[in-house]
Amino acid sequence: MPRKFVWETPEEINIGIAKRVKNIRNRRKISQIELSELSGVSYGSIKRFETTGDISLKSLTRIALALNMVDDLKRLFSDIGYLNIQEVVNENR
C-alpha cells in the first residue's frame, strides 16, 4: 500500500494543535490560570502544552471540555475514509 508523505514531524503537528487551542483560549479571554481552574489541568501543564505541544490525552480532553470544544475533539478520528477496499473487508469481519 502506498504511504502518504507527511512533511511535518509529530512535534510540529502537536505545536500546531497547541497554537490553535491557545488562540481559542485568547479569543475567549481566558488566562492560562483561569483555564487551569476551569479544566483541573495544572497551570504548568497548560503552559508546557502551549509552548511545546506536549500534553496527555486526558488533560487535552479536560481542556476541550473547559473551552466547550469537546465535539471538535470527538470528531478527530470520525468519518475517516477508507484507504482501499481491503480496509472495508477488514472492518466487516
- Residue 54 has what pLDDT? 98
Give the C-alpha distances (Å, rounded to integers) separating 92 from 1, 15, 31, 88. 20, 36, 47, 6
The CATH class, in words, for 1-72 is mainly alpha
Dihedral-angle region of residue 82 (phi above 0 means left; psi in -120 to 50 means alpha; beta otherwise): beta
Is 6 a residue whose pLDDT tops 60?
yes
- Residue 70 has what pLDDT? 94
Where do the domains of the chain lie? Answer: 1-72
Give the C-alpha distances (Å, rounded to integers) separating 52 from 2, 39, 55, 62. 31, 19, 9, 18
**Of residues 29 and 1, which shows the higher confidence score?**
29
pLDDT confidence of 78, banded at 50, 70, 90?
Answer: confident
- Residue 88 has what pLDDT? 86
